[in-house]
Amino acid sequence: MAVKYLTQLGFLLSFLVFTFGCSNSKNDNASQGQVRKGLPVEALVVKLEPLTQSLSLSGSLMAGEEVDLKAEITGKLVEFYLEEGRTVTKGQLLARVNDSEVRARLEKLKSDLKLAEDDVARKQRLKEINALSQQDLDVAINKVEGTKADIMLAQAQIEKAEIRAPFAGRIGLRNVSPGSFIGTNTVLATLIQDNPLRLEFSVPERYAFGIAKGKEVTFTLGHYPTIHKATVYATESVIDAQTRALRVRAECPNPKGELIPGSFARVAFKIDGNLETILIPPHALVPVLGGQNVVVVRSSKAVYSPVEIGARTATAVEVVSGIQPGDTVLLSGLLQVREGMTVSTTIVDSW
């Protein structure tokens, strides 16, 4: 009887051990399956892509050339050809200050020069027959050279009395009238060259690499929708230390004179950066003290990786270092995920 009881007890214990073992095995399998599944997130496999940025900047339309017309001497205007709005050619006489005294002195000097040259010719003949010393001949020659120098001085003074156009352009509004007495600081009018015009704008330092001679830009004026084109012909040699921007000038044709210098311009152009670079959406960045991180998936685990960012566009951020093409970067779940956490990723092609 005792043997039968012990046998039944052994079967019962074996059954309990088998049942408990199966139950634990199922629980362990279920637990492992849950761990393997992890936090569901969306992710992007990064790759090399072309970087193109569109910039919109403020600028000013300037005359091709501009100068205030002034006289170099003080006096009364005796000739006056400053017609407002008139187109003039380079070197054209626009006005003349009274220089009658200088002109009279010039005529006298020309007469003195003729007499001095005749005197030198006579003394040279005398010198040839030893009837005159070399010293007397040298004095006569020096007098000729001195008179020529006086003539050149008088001619220079006459040129200073004349106001001529330094370049071809259009005269603006005049500030004086014929017969006015003017000084050397008196601005008679402004002369501008309005074809071609210059477009000036400043490019922030971070985008300075994208601007160079020959680049084409577009611009609009004020509230007018008409788009005009200009070509960059020069940039400043250094970046301004205060504004951290690079001054740029572009040339704009204006054959019909429709564009007015001084107008406010809205400049737009595209910057082509690295031919191929890594781009990610801005919301994939995790700000940290002193920089930025991204969450990379490696062996189904979330790993925080510090990155260095470069240029920004309206929809993307350039990653200069920290990740490589082929890395999987999380786009969602960034607030819930922790370092080393298992994640279940869904790969997306766009954001």
Please write the tens of the pLDDT for every residue from 221-248.
Answer: 987 889 999 999 999 999 999 999 999 9
289 three-class SS: coil
Q: Is the pLDDT of residue 23 over 60?
A: no
Distance (Å, whole) CA 218 – CA 232 = 11
Among 84, 260, 89, residue whose Cα is nearest residue 169: 89
DSSP SS3 for 260: coil
pLDDT at 54: 80
Q: What residues does CATH 2.40.420.20 cover in the chain? A: 39-51+276-347
- CB-count exposure of residue 319 (10 Å: 0-12, 13-18, 19+): buried
pTM: 0.63
DSSP, res 314:
S
* SS3 at position 23: helix
Can you give the pLDDT at residue 51? 76
Q: Report the CATH number of the 39-51+276-347 domain.
A: 2.40.420.20
Average confidence (pLDDT) over 119-124: 92
Q: Is 206 helix (H, G, I), strand (E, B) or coil?
A: helix
Which pLDDT does position 2 carry in this prediction? 45
For residue 196, cis peptide bond before it (omega within 30 degrees of 0): yes
Domain with CATH 2.40.50.100 in the chain: 65-190
* The pLDDT of residue 224: 85
CATH code given to domain 65-190? 2.40.50.100
Other Cβ atoms within 10 Å of 216 Cβ, number = 11
Residue 342 has pLDDT above 60, yes or no: yes
Q: Residue 98 in contact with residue 79, Cβ under 8 Å? A: no
Q: 327: which 2 tokens?
A: 């890395």
Residues of the chain with pLDDT > 90: what percent? 71
pLDDT of the residue at 20:
45
Q: Where is average pLDDT lowest: 28-37, 144-153, 222-231? A: 28-37
The CATH number fitting domain 55-63+198-272, selected from 3.30.540.10, 3.40.50.720, 2.30.30.90, 2.40.30.170: 2.40.30.170
pLDDT at 182 over 70: yes
User: Which residues are 288's β-sheet partners?
Assistant: 291
Nearest to 88 by CA among 170, 162, 166, 164: 170
Query: What does the pLDDT read at residue 336?
Result: 92
In the predicted model, what is the mean pLDDT of residues 255-281?
86
Q: Using CA of residue 42, residue 46, residue 52, residue 56, what is the dihedral sign?
A: positive
3-state SS, residue 280: strand
